[in-house]
Amino acid sequence: MYEAVRAHPEGQSTVARLAKRAADYGYEGVVVRNHSGTRADYDADAIADEYGIDVVDGVEIRADDPEQASGSVGNFRPSNTILALEGGTDALNRFAVEQAKIDVLAGPMAGDGDVNHVLAKAAAENGVRIEFDLSGVLRASGGRRVRAIQSLRKLEEIVDYYDAPYVASADPASHLELRAPRELRAVGEEIGLSSEFVEDGLAEWGRLAERNRHVHSESFIEPGVERGRYEEES
């Protein structure tokens, strides 16, 4: 299982500190998902070697509208293993699920955002993972927490019905906000999501990273076609 984290300077903890805590909690990897304007400076290989945990480079695009988002996708897709787009408006949510180059629609139910059957079907067709953001359940209170729970329950029904791909995250911006997988599974069960559903959402980050690394490798040409020994020597 993997967790997607926000590191310094966007978060309060360095990538190394987050990776160490995640390894202690039993995660296999972390995805660094800082917004494009707050890139973290870190040596993924060195951290992985020290703590025995996979460190995946990623970016989460924040845009005002689909036109701005489109330019950012072109700029950041080639240099990042995982590319997410921050949703939260109907226009950005729709744009994200229609773009196969985008891996994850992050925070789709934030702000005025919503996910309906049309968006879920598009996400399934284009392989865009819809994020189940558990931060509102863990760190909000009162009415905000109630709305977060209601939104996640609604989202689960739609995603399950249309078999749309998804990821799950507590969206930690500090090593103190990290929660062990067993804790997140328990939170899921408390709010109406099965522990298996949450676990699969955490694992999906790792599967996504593995797929993208393969696609970006020199041996990959297109689905079903890879460069072999003879092509390399010619």
Strand partners, 57: 32
193 within 8 A of 232, measured Cβ to Cβ: no
pLDDT in tens, 167-223: 999 999 999 999 999 999 999 999 999 999 999 999 999 999 999 999 887 544 454
156 within 8 A of 193, measured Cβ to Cβ: yes
19 within 8 A of 47, measured Cβ to Cβ: yes
Strand partners, 83: 59
Residue 91 scores a pLDDT above 70: yes
Query: pTM for the complete prediction?
Result: 0.90
pLDDT in tens, 22-55: 999 999 999 999 998 899 999 999 999 999 999 9
84 within 8 A of 73, measured Cβ to Cβ: no
Other C-beta atoms lying within 10 Å of the C-beta of residue 55: 24
Burial class (CB within 10 angstroms; exposed 0-12, middle 13-18, buried 19+) of 179: middle
pLDDT at 113: 85
Q: Which helix (H) or strand (E) holds 100?
A: none
Per-residue pLDDT band at 85 (split at 50, 70, 90): very high
Task: Report the chain's mean pLDDT, rounded to a whole number.
Answer: 92
- Domain that includes residue 116, residue range: 2-233
DSSP 117-134: HHHHHHHHHHTPEEEEE-
Q: Provide the CATH number for the domain around residue 214.
A: 3.20.20.140
Domains: count for the chain: 1
Edge-to-edge strand list for the sheet holding 166-169: 2-5, 29-32, 54-61, 82-86, 104-106, 129-133, 166-169
